[in-house]
């Protein structure tokens, strides 16, 4: 965790931090779901002998890039939650 992010978030009101945390949690859920879809596609393609090596490499590269994006987003989420001091409750997607 970097000090710049921590100090930036520590200056925010709790209500603002909670809104940020909820948005970051929802974004994290969406990223994970998208990562899983790409991973499943890559796995299916790997088992299919008719899929070219170039397509497999493309799927692998996309999955690795998504993992890096998810990792960066997870770090941001962690900073926000650290500044907030708790993990807010977030309803599953589609629920109020």
| Amino acid 86: pLDDT | 94
Q: Kindly indicate the confidence band of residue 10, based on its pLDDT and cuts at 50, 70 and 90.
A: low
Q: Is residue 74 part of a domain?
A: yes
Residue 18 lies in a domain: yes
Domains: count for the chain: 1
pLDDT, position 12: 73
Give 27-85 pLDDT, tens digit per residue: 999 999 999 999 999 999 999 999 999 999 999 999 999 999 999 999 999 999 999 99
Task: Examine residue 90 and state whether it is found in any structural domain, yes or no.
Answer: no
**Residue 71 within a domain:** yes
Residues 61, 81: Cα–Cα separation, whole Å: 30
Give a yes or no: residue 91 inside a domain.
no
* Full domain range(s) for residue 72: 3-84
CATH number of the domain that residue 8 is part of: 1.10.287.160
The pLDDT of residue 1:
41
> Which residues lie closer than 8 Å to 93 by C-beta, 6 or more apart?
26, 29
pLDDT the model gives residue 41: 96
In a domain, residue 42? The reply is: yes
């Amino acid at each position: 965790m970097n000090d710049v992010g921590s100090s930036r978030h520590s200056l925010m009101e709790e209500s603002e931090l909670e809104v940020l945390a909820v948005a970051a949690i929802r974004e994290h859920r969406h990223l994970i779901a998208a990562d899983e879809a790409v991973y499943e596609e890559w796995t299916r393609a790997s088992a299919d002998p008719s899929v070219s090596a170039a397509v497999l490499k493309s799927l692998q590269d996309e999955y690795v890039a998504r993992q890096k994006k998810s990792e960066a987003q997870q770090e941001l989420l962690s900073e926000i939650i650290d500044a907030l001091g708790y993990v807010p409750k977030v309803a599953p997607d589609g629920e109020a």
